[in-house]
């Protein structure tokens, strides 16, 4: 618990109605609780004091109102997602970390870059197995650059009406051209499949050609991220349209250890998060699977009325995860 003097000061600032002093004293209490390793309490207090979400971007309502729609069915072609994660929430390979830092720098200093007649990197391709951070990292880029995070609704973009998919793509590119955003084309393979695919037909060729043309001509204000976990079926010509191509791999031992420390932040554990025996339990699992397992283990700890997470909670959760994976494979 915070010291008596601080509590007195806090109540006094509330009664006197001085918001600046109230914030200062609250921040001091949070600092003290953190020093005492009461991370869960400190996190909760921070959420109450600052709110849970990042600053809203200017003109968000205006952007929402202008989201293009499919002419045949009236479906919105994109949606704006509120970023809730920050850079400290993701575990990245050294290589990806350095590329992303460089992108932040280029975007933060875009005026200098522009003054030399250059453009900040604006087309990135993220590929790799499911659950390894492609969508999460896109969201974090939006959050760090304080830009709206727009996700393309692939299912709305792809239309059974002839020529409509290409028309939808044009609408998206027109929209993102003038409004700075981070735009995620998830499941990008659906739009950029190898044109000589066995099941190929004229419409697919038309769509891929439109994507290539749009990407080549793009000189807009947004940063485009295309993500896929089926990179092998991407058309060969697509790859060179991207300035940076980032591979998101399954975590190795070192990354599992880092992931444990990120995901168990604020949780009291009976083991150390860099215990190699604990990390080894998660070998061969994706980041998302590890996170799901840890969430289950923490819930088990809470429901058992215990305050410390034990290896037994983790082992039990892992068993359930294995059963889940088996069922998914058989379904
Ligand atoms: N590298 C990572 N660091 C921290 N957490 C991660 C990481 N990768 C995944 N996660 C966790 O797993 C969740 C799912 O990950 P994400 O949606 O980014 O995967 P993805 O690579 O986009 O998968 P898919 O190919 O299926 O779309 C994230 O919201 C996050 O909680
Ligand atoms: Mg994804």
| pLDDT, tens digit (0-9, with 9 covering 90-100), for 19-56 | 888 888 888 888 888 778 777 787 778 778 876 544 55
User: Which residue has the CA at smallest separation from atom 19 of ligand 1?
Assistant: 131
Residue 248 Cα: closest atom of ligand 1: 21
What is the pTM assigned to this prediction?
A: 0.82
C-alpha distances in angstroms, 178 versus 106, 171, 173, 233? 19, 12, 9, 31
Scan for tokens 């043309």, then name that residue: 213
Residue to substitute in 85, 142, 287 for testing ligand 1 pocket (most ligand atoms within 8 angstroms of CB): 287
Give the CATH architecture of domain 60-247: 3-Layer(aba) Sandwich (3.40)
User: Which residue has the CA at smallest separation from atom 30 of ligand 1?
Assistant: 288
> 60-247 and 253-330: same fold?
no
Lowest-confidence segment of 30-39, 142-151, 184-193, 295-304 by average pLDDT: 30-39
Residue range 231-249: mean pLDDT, rounded:
94
* Ligand 1 touching residue 93 (CB < 6 A): no
Residue 137 Cα: closest atom of ligand 1: 18
How is the chain split into domains, by residue range? Answer: 4-50, 60-247, 253-330
pLDDT tens digits along 167-176: 999 999 999 9
Distance 133 CA to ligand 2 centre (A): 7
| pLDDT band for position 2 (cuts 50, 70, 90) | low
Which of 1.10.8.60, 3.40.50.720, 3.40.50.920, 3.30.70.20 is the CATH number of 253-330? 1.10.8.60
| Nearest ligand atom owner, CA of 136 | 1
| pLDDT band for position 136 (cuts 50, 70, 90) | very high
The size of the chain, in residues, is 331
- How many whole angstroms separate alpha carbon 211 and alpha carbon 168? 11
- Assess whether pLDDT exceeds 60 at residue 145: yes
* Ligand 1 touching residue 285 (CB < 6 A): no
Query: Taken in order 254, 35, 141, 48, is the CA torsion positive or negative?
Result: positive
For the chain, what percent of residues have pLDDT higher than 70?
Answer: 95
């Amino acid at each position: 618990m915070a010291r008596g003097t601080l509590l007195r000061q806090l109540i006094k600032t509330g009664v006197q109605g001085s918001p600046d002093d109230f914030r200062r004293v609250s921040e001091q209490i949070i600092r003290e609780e953190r020093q005492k390793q009461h991370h869960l309490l400190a996190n909760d207090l921070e959420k109450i004091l600052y709110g849970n979400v990042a600053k809203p971007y200017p003109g968000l309502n205006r952007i929402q109102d202008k989201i293009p729609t499919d002419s045949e069915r009236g479906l919105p072609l994109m949606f704006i997602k509120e970023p809730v994660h920050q850079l400290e929430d993701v575990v990245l390979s050294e290589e990806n970390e350095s590329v992303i830092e460089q992108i932040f720098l280029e975007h933060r200093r875009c005026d200098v870059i522009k003054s030399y007649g250059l453009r900040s990197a604006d087309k990135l391709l993220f590929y790799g197995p499911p659950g390894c951070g492609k969508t999460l990292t896109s969201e974090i880029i939006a959050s760090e650059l304080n830009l709206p995070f727009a996700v393309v609704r692939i299912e709305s973009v792809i239309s059974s009406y002839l020529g409509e998919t290409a028309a939808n793509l044009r609408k998206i590119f027109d929209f993102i051209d003038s409004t700075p955003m981070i735009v995620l084309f998830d499941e990008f393979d659906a739009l950029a499949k190898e044109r000589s695919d066995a099941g190929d037909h004229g419409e697919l060729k038309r769509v891929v050609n439109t994507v290539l043309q749009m990407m080549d001509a793009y000189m807009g204000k947004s940063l485009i991220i295309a993500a896929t976990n089926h990179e092998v079926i991407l058309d060969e010509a697509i790859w060179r349209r991207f300035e940076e191509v980032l591979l998101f791999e399954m975590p190795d031992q070192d990354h599992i250890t880092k992931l444990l420390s990120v995901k168990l932040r604020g949780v009291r554990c009976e083991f150390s998060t860099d215990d190699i025996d604990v990390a080894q339990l998660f070998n061969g699992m994706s980041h998302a699977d590890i996170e799901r397992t840890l969430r289950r283990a923490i819930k088990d700890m809470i429901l058992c009325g215990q305050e410390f997470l034990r290896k037994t909670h983790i082992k039990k959760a892992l068993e359930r995860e294995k059963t889940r994976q088996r069922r998914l494979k058989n379904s």
